[in-house]
Amino acid sequence: MKNKLIAEFFGTFWLVFGGCGSAVLAALFLTDGASPTQLGIGFVGVSFAFGLTVLTMAYAIGHISGCHLNPAVTLGLVIGGRHPKSEFIPYIVAQVVGGIAGAGVLYLIASGKAGFSTEGGFAANGYADHSPGGYSVVSALVAEFVLTFFFLLIILGATDSRAPKGFAPLAIGLGLTLIHLIGIPVTNLSVNPARSTGSAVFVGGWALAQLWLFWLAPLAGAALAGLVYPAFAGKAEK
């Protein structure tokens, strides 16, 4: 159990540091000069960064902890009969602590640049005035719920013992990339309460006030997927 929790800590650290780090440090990068050129990676680059963190960690620690890195994933797997209920709370604690630690190291790096401020969002998730595209709380709820639901369907299907072996990390990593391509304009995309908490702790204020949505919607979407997948795919395969 200790090794599982250490793996979840490091895995979630990597997800937040890598994914949010790409958003904070590399999404918008302008050259100097009278006519600066945008050399940043943008939404597409950030989407791939999040997907790559999960893909790489799935191969690195999947055999140790299952590489959940996300309280919603753990909940969906528990409800779907893929993970022991007794490990639910310890996994969530390890994931949240890992997410905050990853955001903390990112903060130390980002704050080394003159003019840095978390007022720019620090990759925090938000709705209404704090949505990148100005989307409402209802839009944010629906997006986070639906995208988490489908993310869990991908995870449950790709890790089913009847699925082709060895390809689950690719399917899951690319699935996370896809849902970021869809959802970043709406909420900066969470689908992961630990990721949202990591950023919100350092932004404070509005980010903490809106954090409830990024726990509620992903957990609800994951729970539904944990019920739906076994219903149409048959008995849960471990």
CATH number at residue 175: 1.20.1080.10
Would residue 224 count as lying in a domain?
Answer: yes
pLDDT on residue 133: 96
Mean pLDDT (the chain, rounded)? 94
pLDDT at 89 over 60: yes
Residue 237 has pLDDT above 70, yes or no: no
238 located within any domain: no
In-domain check, residue 143: yes
**Residue 72 domain-assigned?**
yes
Q: Is residue 73 part of a domain?
A: yes
Q: Residue 30 forms beta bridges with which residues?
A: 38
| Structural domain includes residue 67 | yes
Residue 83 resides in a domain: yes
How many domains in the chain?
1
Q: How many of the other CB atoms lie within 10 Å of CB of 138?
A: 9
Cα gap 176→57, rounded to integer Å: 13
Tell me the pLDDT band of 39, cut-offs 50, 70 and 90. confident
pLDDT bin (cut points 50, 70, 90) of residue 31 is confident
Nearest Cα neighbor of 26 from 7, 57, 50 is 50
Residues of the domain holding 117 = 2-233
Does the residue 36 lie in any domain? yes
Question: What's the whole-model pTM score?
Answer: 0.93
What distance in Å separates the CA atoms of residue 223 and residue 227, rounded to the nearest whole number?
A: 7
